[in-house]
Amino acid sequence: MKSTKTRMGAVVVIVALLIPAVALAAVVTSPFVDVVPGKFYETPINWAFNNSITTGKDATHFEPDGAVTRGESVTFLKRYDDHIVQPAISALGQTVGGLNCTSGQIAKFDGTNWACGTDTDTTIPNTDTLAALGCAAGQVARWDGTAWVCNSVGLTTVVAAGSITTVDNPGDFDLRTSIAIGVDNMPMIAYFDTVNVFLKAFHCGNAACTTGTVSSLDTGGTAGSYGSIAIGADGFPIISYYEIVDSDLEVFHCEDRTCTTGTPFLVDTLGFVGSHTSIAIGADDLPIISYYDLGNQDLKVFHCTNTVCDETVTTGTATTVDSIGIVGEWNSIAIGADGFPVISYYDSTNQHLKVFHCTDTACTAGTATTVDAATGVGQYTSLAIGTDGFPIISYRDSVNQDLKAFHCTVADCTAGTASTLDPGTSGDAGNWTSIAIGPDGFPFVTHRDSVNQDLKFFHCTDTACTGGTTTVLDGATGNVGFYTSTAIGADNKPIISYFDSLGAVRVAQVNVTVTGLAFG
Domain that holds residue 122: 100-143
**Mean pLDDT over all residues of the chain?**
85
Q: Give me the percent of the chain exceeding a pLDDT of 90.
A: 57
Q: Which of 66, 6, 54, 65 is nearest to 30 (CA)?
A: 54
Inform me whether the pLDDT recorded for 138 exceeds 80.
no
Per DSSP, the three-state class of 87 is helix
In sequence order, the 6+-apart residues with CB closer than 8 A to the CB of 96 are: 107, 114
Domain boundary among 93, 112, 132: 93
Angle formed by the axes of helices 8-16 and 70-80, nearest 10°? 30
- Residue-level pLDDT at 135: 67
Q: Is the pLDDT higher at 329 or at 144? A: 329
- Residue-level pLDDT at 437: 96
- pTM value? 0.71
Verify that 309 and 393 share a domain, yes or no.
yes
- Residue-level pLDDT at 12: 60
Residue 402 · residue 421 · CB < 8 Å: yes
Q: How many angstroms separate the CA atoms of 125 and 94, rounded?
A: 16
Inform me whether the pLDDT recorded for 518 exceeds 50.
no
Instruction: Quick: pLDDT tens for 363-392.
Output: 999 999 999 999 999 999 999 999 999 999
- Residue-level pLDDT at 478: 77
CATH code of the domain in which 174 resides: 2.120.10.10
- Residue-level pLDDT at 127: 47
Q: How many angstroms separate the CA atoms of 496 and 193, rounded?
A: 18
292: in domain: yes
Q: Is the pLDDT higher at 137 or at 308? A: 308
Q: How many angstroms separate the CA atoms of 198 and 154, rounded?
A: 48
Query: 464: which DSSP letter?
Result: T
Q: Is the pLDDT higher at 60 or at 517? A: 60
Q: Is the pLDDT higher at 127 or at 6? A: 6
61: in domain: yes
Instruction: Quick: pLDDT tens for 429-443.
Output: 999 999 999 988 999
Residue 338 · residue 411 · CB < 8 Å: yes
150: in domain: no
25: in domain: yes
Residue 343 · residue 300 · CB < 8 Å: no
Mean pLDDT of 166-182: 84
* CA-to-CA separations, 458 to 76, 82, 229, 469, in angstroms, rounded: 71, 64, 23, 6
Verify that 390 and 437 share a domain, yes or no.
yes
Q: Which of 130, 151, 132 is nearest to 140 (CA)?
A: 151
- Residue-level pLDDT at 51: 81
DSSP string computed for 196-259: TTEEEEEEESSTT-SSEEEEE---SSSEEEEEEEEE-TTSSEEEEEEETTTTEEEEEEESSTT-
Angle formed by the axes of helices 8-16 and 42-50, nearest 10°? 70
- Residue-level pLDDT at 48: 80
441: in domain: yes
Verify that 246 and 322 share a domain, yes or no.
yes
Per-residue pLDDT band at 425 (split at 50, 70, 90): low
Q: Which of 134, 257, 126 is nearest to 184 (CA)?
A: 257
Residue 402 · residue 423 · CB < 8 Å: yes
Per-residue pLDDT band at 92 (split at 50, 70, 90): low
Q: Which of 189-193, 216-220, 288-292, 437-441 has the lowest mean pLDDT?
A: 216-220
Per DSSP, the three-state class of 2 is coil
Q: Which residues pair with 335 in a beta bridge?
A: 341
Inform me whether the pLDDT recorded for 277 exceeds 90.
yes
- Residue-level pLDDT at 66: 81
- Residue-level pLDDT at 105: 67
Per-residue pLDDT band at 93 (split at 50, 70, 90): very low
Mean pLDDT of 444-449: 95
- Write out the H or E segment, with its range, that includes residue 80: helix 70-80
User: Count of alpha carbons within 13 Å of 314, Cβ hemisphere only?
Assistant: 10
Verify that 490 and 359 share a domain, yes or no.
yes
- φ, ψ of residue 438 in degrees (nearest 5): -80, 180
Angle (CA) 205 280 489, round 5°: 30
Mean pLDDT of 87-111: 61
Inform me whether the pLDDT recorded for 307 exceeds 70.
yes
Verify that 309 and 362 share a domain, yes or no.
yes
- Residue-level pLDDT at 118: 63
Verify that 193 and 300 share a domain, yes or no.
yes
Inform me whether the pLDDT recorded for 145 exceeds 80.
no
- Write out the H or E segment, with its range, that includes residue 497: strand 494-500
Residue 123 burial class via C-beta count within 10 angstroms: exposed 0-12, middle 13-18, buried 19 and up? exposed
Q: How many angstroms separate the CA atoms of 141 and 134, rounded?
A: 10
Verify that 136 and 231 share a domain, yes or no.
no
* CA-to-CA separations, 130 to 124, 143, 238, 295, 376, in angstroms, rounded: 13, 9, 43, 52, 41
Per-residue pLDDT band at 100 (split at 50, 70, 90): low
- Residue-level pLDDT at 110: 60
Verify that 277 and 380 share a domain, yes or no.
yes
159: in domain: no
Residue 383 · residue 391 · CB < 8 Å: yes
Instruction: Quick: pLDDT tens for 311-334.
Output: 877 789 999 999 999 999 999 999
Verify that 465 and 503 share a domain, yes or no.
yes
* Structural domain count, the chain: 3
How many residues does this entry show for the chain? 520
- Residue-level pLDDT at 342: 98
Mean pLDDT of 444-459: 94
70: in domain: yes
Instruction: Quick: pLDDT tens for 487-498.
Output: 999 999 999 999
Query: How many Cβ atoms sit within 10 Å of the Cβ of residue 115?
Result: 19
Q: The dihedral of CA 265, 267, 273, 275: what is its sign?
A: negative
Verify that 48 and 177 share a domain, yes or no.
no
149: in domain: no
Q: Is the pLDDT higher at 230 or at 171? A: 230
Q: Is the pLDDT higher at 480 or at 46? A: 480
Inform me whether the pLDDT recorded for 136 exceeds 70.
no
- Residue-level pLDDT at 400: 93
Verify that 337 and 407 share a domain, yes or no.
yes
Pairing of strands 391-397, 402-408: antiparallel
Query: How many Cβ atoms sit within 10 Å of the Cβ of residue 383?
Result: 26
Verify that 380 and 484 share a domain, yes or no.
yes
Inform me whether the pLDDT recorded for 120 exceeds 70.
no
Q: Which of 168, 126, 127 is nearest to 148 (CA)?
A: 127
Per-residue pLDDT band at 520 (split at 50, 70, 90): very low
